[in-house]
């Protein structure tokens, strides 16, 4: 009898897009349910202690929450078509894109959704369908507006012409780099999808590839990216455009220059927050005498630390570290740290100077782990 997983999420959800793409490309049997499903409310949420989506209900009745942990959990059970290559340059690239693609692009995607009023009618009805799937238009609008208002209350700046222009310029810069890469490669590292591809899907599908304002920019400026997004949500690995490309990572631990351009651009635009967060976390651990295994916040699955004054590149800033971002950063840092001296040097030569090097070289004062869907110190 086939063992089927249940993915709880929605098409408007950034991180659901990442997980759905992964499940389909891996060929993992699953069904998808909305957060309005009574099972989610009565069983899944109490088990995870979180209302965030996506969440994965296993055939054994366990719940896994957070896309990074979902991928790790499933990789152990479904090793075919591995999301993480084994060679040092490619693996470090994937860990860094797991951070920069998922966490780094989040603000661009979120801002683009809520700053452009062209998106509002579609997004509100889309949200409404997640919670009242059989509701009439008035119901959908009512519930969608409640959710939208809550989302827009999280520090959204005024929607000025300059801000909208700046966001579109950033978005088009990313699309042009992706277009250049997709001329020769179906995925970041050749003919085989990786966690790097799934990471970028959150931004490029759920927000920028479905919301009207973002979709219009993508279709006008990046037809290859639009086609890539289409292909990332179907189970087939080989696309018609690259039907003769073997399903494998590039040989010789190659990372294409065009892929490095994309990662480097995201890091320089949005990556400094992770360096500041890592420094602030290390300083906090020097002040807090936490026993091994202690939860960093037993009530919150993505807690913030108390503000810290940190110095980076000669500038002092007050930073409140997002511990989820610190945890994902540490995955790259600790993988690189555990490489041989020769491999560490080769990786650093690949990435050169800048944010990526600075991030990898930050020491890990205390390792963060996830236990029972909460962040703890190892």
Sign of dihedral through CA atoms 116, 122, 124, 127?
negative
What average pLDDT score do residues 15-34 get?
97
pTM over 0.85: yes
User: Which helix or strand (DSSP H or E) is residue 267 part of?
Assistant: helix 257-270
Which of the four CATH numbers 3.40.50.740, 3.30.70.20, 3.30.420.40, 3.40.30.10 does domain 5-77 have?
3.40.30.10
Q: Can you list the positions of beta strands (E) in the chain?
A: 5-8, 30-33, 55-57, 63-65, 308-312, 315-319, 368-371, 374-377
- Is the model's pLDDT at 181 over the cut of 90? yes
Whether domain 88-116+159-255 has CATH 1.20.1050.10: the reply is: yes
CA distances from 351 to 212, 312, 345, 357 (A): 35, 19, 10, 7
At 48 the pLDDT is 93
- Domains of the chain, by residue range, sit at 5-77, 88-116+159-255, 271-377
At 154 the pLDDT is 73
Q: How far apart are the C-alpha atoms of 197 and 232, rounded to whole Å? A: 8
What average pLDDT score do residues 99-122 get?
94
Q: What is the pLDDT of residues 303-328, one digit of tens each?
A: 888 899 999 999 999 999 899 999 99
- The two tokens of residue 193 are 């999808």
pLDDT band at 302 (very low <50, low <70, confident <90, very high): confident
At 232 the pLDDT is 97
Nearest Cα to Cα of residue 232 among 258, 193, 185: 193
- Is the model's pLDDT at 152 over the cut of 80? no
At 72 the pLDDT is 97
Sequence-distant (6+) residues with CB within 8 A of 100 are 199, 263, 266, 267, 270, 271
Q: Which residue has the higher pLDDT, 156 or 95?
A: 95
pLDDT band at 151 (very low <50, low <70, confident <90, very high): confident
What average pLDDT score do residues 178-196 get?
98
What average pLDDT score do residues 183-191 get?
98
- Is the model's pLDDT at 247 over the cut of 80? yes
Q: How far apart are the C-alpha atoms of 228 and 209, rounded to whole Å? A: 11
What average pLDDT score do residues 360-367 get?
94
Q: What is the pLDDT of residues 46-91, one digit of tens each?
A: 999 999 999 999 999 999 999 999 999 999 999 999 999 999 999 9
Determine phi and psi for 282, rounding to 5 degrees.
-60, -40
Q: Which residue has the higher pLDDT, 260 or 306?
A: 260
- Is the model's pLDDT at 155 over the cut of 80? no
């Amino acid at each position: 009898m086939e063992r089927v997983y249940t993915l709880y999420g929605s098409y408007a959800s950034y991180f659901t897009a990442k997980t759905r793409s992964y499940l389909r490309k891996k060929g993992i049997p699953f069904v998808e349910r909305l957060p309005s499903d009574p099972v989610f409310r009565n069983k899944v949420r109490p088990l995870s202690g979180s209302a965030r989506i996506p969440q994965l209900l296993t055939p054994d009745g366990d719940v896994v929450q957070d896309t990074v942990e979902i991928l790790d959990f499933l990789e152990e059970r479904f090793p075919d078509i591995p999301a993480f290559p084994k060679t040092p340059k490619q693996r470090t690239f994937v860990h860094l894109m797991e951070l920069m693609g998922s966490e780094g692009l989040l603000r661009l995607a979120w801002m683009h959704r809520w700053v452009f009023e062209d998106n509002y009618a579609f997004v509100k009805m889309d949200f409404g369908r997640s919670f009242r799937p059989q509701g009439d238009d008035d119901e959908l609008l009512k519930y969608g507006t409640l959710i939208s208002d809550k989302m827009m209350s999280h520090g959204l700046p005024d929607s000025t012409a300059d801000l909208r222009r700046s966001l579109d310029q950033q978005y088009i810069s990313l699309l042009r780099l992706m277009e250049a890469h997709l001329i020769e490669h179906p995925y970041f590292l050749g003919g085989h999808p990786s966690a790097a591809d799934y990471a970028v899907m959150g931004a490029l599908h759920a927000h920028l590839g479905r919301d009207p304002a973002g979709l219009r920019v993508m279709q006008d400026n990046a037809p290859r990216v639009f086609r890539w997004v289409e292909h990332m949500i179907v189970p087939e690995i080989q696309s018609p455009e690259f039907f003769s490309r073997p399903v494998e990572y590039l040989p010789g631990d190659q990372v294409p220059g065009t892929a490095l351009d994309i990662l480097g651009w995201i890091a320089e635009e949005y990556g400094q927050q992770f360096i500041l967060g890592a420094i602030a976390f290390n300083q906090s651990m020097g002040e807090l005498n936490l026993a091994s295994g202690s939860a960093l916040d037993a009530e919150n699955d993505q807690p913030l630390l108390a503000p810290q004054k940190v110095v980076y590149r000669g500038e002092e800033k007050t930073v409140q570290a997002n511990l989820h971002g610190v945890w994902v950063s540490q995955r790259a840092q600790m993988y690189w740290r555990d490489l041989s001296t020769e491999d560490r040097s080769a990786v650093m030569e690949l990435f050169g100077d800048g944010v990526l090097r600075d991030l990898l070289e930050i020491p890990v004062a205390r390792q963060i782990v996830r236990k029972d869907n909460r962040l703890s110190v190892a």
